[in-house]
Amino acid sequence: MYLSKQSILSAIKAKKIGITPFDEKHLGEASYELHLSDQLFDVKPKGKRKFFDGKALKEKEIHRFELKNDSFQFQPKQFIIGKTTETISLSEDYAGIFDGKASLAQIGLFVHISSTHIDPLTNSTITVELFNSSDYPILLKENMKIGQVLFAEVK
């Protein structure tokens, strides 16, 4: 069962859930709205690699760039990795699920491809796997609403 707004606030007060930075206006009835940070990562094979095979990427295959008060024109069929502005901290009593926003899905923006689960004892930003499935560029901006996190008690 997902936590309600009041249960999320109680868990934050008890320091069982942490959201940094936290602003109560982003707290919904059963979720907290997350935002895109200014850091994006483009993944491209380098050197002799002709394909990805599930092995760890080499540092030179990950190109980092920043939005910094700018916007990024995300091209059709392009894939990049981002992260949330917010850091999520969970005690052993709670887990989370990251979910996208319907408004972004409706324009063809995938914000997660496989990783939605947030384990207990996490203390990190949330990785967002961004894919533009549309035939049109999508404008990405620093701090735009990118998804939400739902919380559940681990029993």
Residues involved in catalysis: 129
Tokens standing for residue 93: 């009593």
Tokens standing for residue 91: 């005690």
Does an H or E element contain 9, and which? helix 5-13
- For residue 84, which of 145, 2, 23, 10 has the smallest C-alpha distance? 145
**How far is it, in rounded angstroms, from Cα 133 to Cα 152?**
30
At position 38, the amino acid (one-letter code) is: D
- For residue 16, which of 29, 26, 28, 3 has the smallest C-alpha distance? 3
